[in-house]
Structures are given as structure tokens and as C-alpha cells.
């Protein structure tokens, strides 16, 4: 047994990665779903069950001992989370590894297939858009999914409408979480640019970050469900920050991270604006929640579990 096989066998032995005796040939691609920054996603049919699944192929460069330990840890974590079968997390059915060219392995992740993401859901909504109570329900489900991920030490890091799936019954399922480190080696293989529009300030400034980045992204998505367009459409990191400060105001000096090269004095001072100026469709309680999600300092930003306790979710929100 070589080191590559041994690493997979060890995972099976400890129960971290319950590899089934299947290969990628069990899944027959029937259509290309979409192309993103991390590669192509296919709709496929499971020849054993007859059900549709979604395939994500990841090319991973092997080190001398086989697959990099970081990749093994990430996939093991995904499989471990699968045991909880959380209603707001997309299911990972299978993982198949195929040896390819020298020092490369193709890892195929087999997920449950859901027909639409939140971006498509919003585009399909007839005028004047999604009802306020539906937005509240979708946001609550999104936060419930984040509470689960964060409680298990998982930061999504790339939360956006395309990574939030919505079933035909309105059930939200988070997808593509925990995959950023697996995909790092593949980032240069596609011309698709990862959008800046949902990135937290600490990410834009290239500072340290943790679970609060997902709450910032949630705020951007929450606003987009009301106005049916992205809240901050920057063309660069600096432009994105400018657009953020147009709403939130320039943060105080004490909140500016110390470990960044872009200084606060590079931006014009400005006061915060009313949420109603940007999103007139949002009521007062929704605006209050949004401002807690869009706090510049990650230390002061609301957590997922505390956001669920916000008055916005506790009663009937009034229409503007």
C-alpha cells in the first residue's frame, strides 16, 4: 500500500472520511450547471439510485506523501458535518479520488442537487419582488446554517447568492463552505473573477479574519433580497470600501486594523447615512439588523446566534 492509499485508509479507519466503494463512473454527467471561480459544476445521475446529484471536480497537486494534509483535513471535516444532516446545509453524498497526471489527483465531491440558487430565485421573483415575510424566513434559515457551521469551527469565507441554494419548497441550504483551502490550487485555472461585493472590510484590507466575515456577507445578501441588486458594487478593493463607507460612514481610528498597508487617511471622512436612503423597501427593524451585520469592526459585529435574537425575527415587522 502506497502513502496515498494509506492516508485514505487511515481516514476510513478513524471514521473521518467514510469512503464508499464507488468510483466517479457511478455518476453520469447530464448537464453543465455553471462555471465559477473554483471550476465547473455538473448535474449528474447516480446510476445506482437513479437520483440527480451535483458534481464538483477539484484538481489537487500531491505532495511526496500523497494528498496534502490540508486537503484531507478539509474533506474529512465536510464528511464529519454530513453526519448531522442539518436542514440548512447542502448534503455531501460521496467523495471519489482518481489518480491523474504526475503529482495530480482529481477529487470529485458529490452533493445533493438543488435546481436553483438564491441569485436565480431573486431573478425569477415577479415585481415588486420577494414578500417581506419570505425574506425574513430565508434570512433566518441562512443564519441557522451559519450558527451550525461556526459552532463547528467552519468559516464559509465566500458567502454570496450563488452559494445559497433554495429548494422548490423555500428551504435554504448553504453550499461551498469549507472548500476554499481545497480550491486554492485551482484558482489560477479559470478566468472568472471572484466578486468583491460580499467581502467584509477585513478581507478587503487583507487583515486577519474569522467567522464575522460571514455575517458581513449575510448583511449584503439580506439587503439584496429587498432591493434586488447588490448593495455594494465595487470595481476594486479600494472602490468597494469607498462604497461601503458611503453608507456606514468612515469608521473611527480605533476600529481600523493595525496589520494593514491601506491606511484610514486614504479615505475621505464622511458620516453614516440612513439605510432608507439605500434600501427604501426595508422596514426599521430590518434596517437595525442590517446595521449590526454591517459593523466595520469584526469584534463588534453581531454573531449569527445573536442575530437570530434580534427583534426583527421576534415579531411582525412593519411595512415602510
| 177: Cβ contacts below 8 Å, ≥ 6 apart | 89, 149, 154, 156, 157, 163
> What confidence tier does 70 reach under pLDDT thresholds 50, 70, 90?
low
How many whole angstroms separate alpha carbon 13 and alpha carbon 160?
36
Instruction: Give the cell for residue 13.
Output: 479507519
How many whole angstroms separate alpha carbon 2 and alpha carbon 6?
6
| The CATH number of the domain covering residues in 118-314 | 1.10.510.10
Q: What is the pLDDT of residues 89-138, one digit of tens each?
A: 999 888 887 776 667 777 888 999 998 999 999 999 988 889 999 999 99
Q: Which one-letter DSSP state was computed for residue 250?
A: P
How many whole angstroms separate alpha carbon 181 and alpha carbon 186?
10
Residue 125 burial (10 A CB sphere; 0-12, 13-18, 19+): middle
Q: Is there a common fold for 10-112 and 118-314? A: no
How many whole angstroms separate alpha carbon 313 and alpha carbon 170?
17
Q: What is the pLDDT of residues 269-319, one digit of tens each?
A: 999 999 999 999 999 999 999 999 999 999 999 999 999 999 999 865 443
Annotated catalytic residues are: 158
Query: Where do the domains of the chain lie?
Result: 10-112, 118-314
Global pTM value: 0.84
> What confidence tier does 64 reach under pLDDT thresholds 50, 70, 90?
low
Q: What pLDDT score was predicted for residue 22?
A: 53
Q: Characterize 236-256 residue by residue with b for buried, 16 or more Cβ atoms within 10 angstroms of its Cβ, and e for exposed.
A: ebeebbbbbbbbbebbeeeeb
CATH of 10-112, one of 3.40.190.10, 3.30.200.20, 3.40.50.1000, 3.30.450.20: 3.30.200.20
- Average model confidence (pLDDT) for the chain? 83
Terminal Cα distance for the chain, rounded = 67
CA dihedral 30, 105, 162, 41 (to 10 degrees): -10
| C-alpha dihedral sign at 145, 138, 140, 231 | positive
Q: Which one-letter DSSP state was computed for residue 18?
A: -
Amino acid at each position: 500500500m502506497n502513502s496515498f492509499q494509506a492516508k485514505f485508509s487511515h481516514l476510513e479507519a478513524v471514521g473521518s472520511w467514510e469512503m464508499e466503494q464507488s468510483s466517479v463512473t457511478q455518476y453520469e454527467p447530464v448537464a453543465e450547471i455553471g462555471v465559477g471561480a473554483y471550476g465547473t459544476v455538473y448535474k449528474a445521475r447516480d446510476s445506482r439510485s437513479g437520483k440527480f446529484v451535483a458534481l464538483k471536480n477539484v484538481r489537487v497537486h500531491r505532495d511526496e506523501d500523497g494528498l496534502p494534509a490540508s486537503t484531507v483535513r478539509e474533506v474529512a471535516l465536510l464528511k464529519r458535518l454530513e453526519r448531522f444532516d442539518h436542514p440548512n446545509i447542502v448534503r455531501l453524498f460521496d467523495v471519489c479520488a482518481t489518480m491523474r497526471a504526475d503529482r495530480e489527483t482529481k477529487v470529485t465531491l458529490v452533493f445533493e442537487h438543488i435546481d436553483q440558487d438564491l441569485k436565480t430565485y431573486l431573478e425569477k421573483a415577479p415585481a415588486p419582488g420577494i414578500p417581506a415575510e419570505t425574506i425574513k424566513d430565508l434570512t433566518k434559515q441562512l443564519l441557522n446554517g451559519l450558527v451550525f457551521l461556526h459552532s463547528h469551527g467552519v468559516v464559509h469565507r465566500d458567502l454570496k447568492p450563488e452559494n445559497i441554494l433554495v429548494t422548490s419548497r423555500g428551504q435554504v441550504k448553504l453550499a461551498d463552505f469549507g472548500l476554499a483551502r481545497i480550491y486554492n490550487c485551482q484558482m489560477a485555472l479559470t478566468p472568472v473573477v471572484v466578486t468583491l461585493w460580499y467581502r467584509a472590510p477585513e478581507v478587503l484590507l487583507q487583515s486577519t479574519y474569522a467567522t464575522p466575515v460571514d455575517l458581513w456577507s449575510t448583511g449584503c445578501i439580506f439587503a439584496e433580497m429587498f432591493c434586488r441588486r447588490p448593495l455594494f458594487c465595487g470595481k476594486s478593493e479600494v472602490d468597494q470600501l469607498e462604497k461601503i463607507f458611503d453608507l456606514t460612514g468612515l469608521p473611527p481610528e480605533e476600529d481600523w486594523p493595525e496589520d494593514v498597508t491601506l491606511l484610514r487617511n486614504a479615505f475621505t471622512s464622511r458620516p453614516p447615512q440612513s439605510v432608507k436612503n439605500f434600501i427604501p423597501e426595508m422596514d426599521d427593524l430590518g434596517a437595525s439588523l442590517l446595521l449590526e451585520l454591517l459593523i466595520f469592526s469584526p469584534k463588534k459585529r453581531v454573531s449569527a446566534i445573536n442575530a437570530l435574537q434580534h427583534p426583527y425575527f421576534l415579531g411582525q415587522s412593519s411595512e415602510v
